[in-house]
Amino acid sequence: MKNKMFYILAYNILAKRLPISYHFPPAKIIRAFWARKILKSAGKNINIERGAVFSYEVSIGDNSGIGVNCEIYGPVEIGENVMMGPETVIYTRNHKHDKLDMPMNKQGFEDYEPVKIGNDVWISKRVIILPGVTIGDGCIIGAGAVVAKNIDPYSIAVGNPARVVKKRNQIVYWSTK
């Protein structure tokens, strides 16, 4: 754990503050190097963008990224080929609030509820994903959505709370007859 603390410090002082990857391509390599020292597991060709905050309990698959200024707390599994827009926030636990005779800020936290994001998922800008949610393979989550429930594979979900508005595998065939 002592080494992890050093890596987290080095990431936060140096790598996290480097320019966005498409403005300064070496930043992608530098951030990936330090992120690999912190993350639970990291695939090939990962892209951790400027300002990203993440815990050592995060796993990320091949060709996936964590967007600019994203915040990921607690146990989160990110699949392969996942695109994550800027300012996405993923939570894996909440404050306790069940006791009415005690202020909520004195009640502590609920247990962690891991979040799982499938393969080939596109998470747009400023999405919030709440504890215990699973987002299936092939999903698209629209900008600003608040995902409070599981999203089935190949769904397009938008809004607050997020709701499925379309399935990606629904093909419309036009007929000239």
Low-confidence ranges of the chain (pLDDT < 70): 1, 170-177
| CA 95-58-96 angle, 5° bins | 5
**pLDDT score recorded for residue 2:** 79
Residue 171: predicted pLDDT? 53
How far is residue 38's CA from residue 23's CA, in Å, rounded to a whole number? 24
pLDDT for 169 = 77
Contact indicator for 156, 165 with CB cutoff of 8 Å: yes
CB atoms within 10 A of CB 32: 20
Instruction: Identify whether 95 is a catalytic site residue.
Output: yes
Can you tell me whether residue 105 is helix, strand or coil?
helix
Strand bridging mode 83-84 / 122-123: parallel
CATH architecture of 2-167: 3 Solenoid (2.160)
Q: What is the pLDDT of residue 173?
A: 55
Domain boundaries in the chain?
Answer: 2-167
Instruction: Look at residue 69 in the predicted model and tell me its pLDDT.
Output: 98
Residue 173 to residue 177: CA distance in whole angstroms: 12
The pLDDT score that the predictor gives to residue 3 is 87
Predicted TM-score (pTM) of the model is 0.92
Choosing from 44, 95, 97, 168, the catalytic residue is 95
